[in-house]
Amino acid sequence: MSQITTCYKHPDRETGVSCQRCDKYICVSCATPGAIGFLCPEDAKDRVKIQRPSFAKSPFQAAPVTIVLIAINVLVYIAQQLNPDLTNWLLYAKYPQDTTYGSLFRVLTSSFAHSPDQITHILFNMYSLYILGTIIEPMIGKLRFLALYLLSAFGGGIGVLLLAELGVSVVGASGAIFGLMGAYLVLLRALKLDARQMYVLIGINLFLGFLPGIAWQAHIGGLVVGAAVALVLAKTRSREQQSTQIGLLVGIVVVLAGLWVYGNSLLPTFVNY
């Protein structure tokens, strides 16, 4: 005598159909066509989630600040190609005090300029910015991401100021990019996710940064500041901690300003004969 099987949701309905995933018996009302056979309501929902694209929004919607930053870098690079003298007006250099080359304004402008003779410089940086930005910006929000990026760029300039030899000049978004790397590492650790690949990626990039012609000092400065900003964001995630978060971020700005003043005080005074 054969055993009578019924729908797990409707015991009063006989059925010989089972879910292709969990093997639970399902009636016609509960069955959803799958790739092969039928699925129960629970597995049908999971199937929809799996098939849904990972990025429900386009990068322009999910990470608008990242796209704008990339656009600014590209436009500045095009301007550098059209006017070769522009790079000299944008770069930051560790020069004696009272020169425009070492001004705070130059720290910002230099982070949006790149080597006009090496297109790989901007291509690599913008690719890294796109990958990291489209991941991190949706995680922390537009304003926090912008603050992270700019503070990391400033940290890169301070790294050059404190660690580089006198006369070194720099351009590029590398300090900010390393800040994003450091921030993503901290966020992965805060979420208790596997961060081993980020350790390897940061290690390789730090090693490559010591090759001739690369400002490793900016990489170090950006990495440290980016990690510090992300640590504040990770430790003050709740709505009740917003004032604490703002206070700590302001504290980072104050520390960076102090390091800027200290680093410049160590430079020889510029004398215009």
pLDDT digits (tens, 9 = 90+) for 192-208: 888 898 899 899 888 88
Looking at the predicted structure, is the pLDDT value of residue 213 above 60? yes
Active site positions, annotated: 174, 219
pLDDT of residue 52: 34
pLDDT of residue 26: 85
Low-confidence winner among 60-69, 118-127, 208-217 (lowest mean pLDDT) = 208-217
pLDDT of residue 183: 96
The CATH number for 1-52, chosen from 3.30.530.20, 3.60.15.10, 3.30.40.10, 3.40.50.10680, is: 3.30.40.10
pLDDT of residue 160: 95
Residue boundaries of the structural domains of the chain: 1-52, 60-264
Topology classification of domain 60-264: Rhomboid-like fold (1.20.1540)
Q: What angle do CA 136, 142, 144 make, to 5 degrees?
A: 75
| pLDDT confidence tier of residue 7, bands split at 50, 70 and 90 | confident
pLDDT of residue 177: 97
Transcribe 192-217 into DSSP letters.
T---HHHHHHHHHHHHHTTSTT--HH
- Would 1-52 and 60-264 be classified into the same CATH topology? no
Contacts of 213 (CB under 8 A, 6+ apart): none
What's the mean pLDDT in 114-125? 94
pLDDT of residue 98: 66
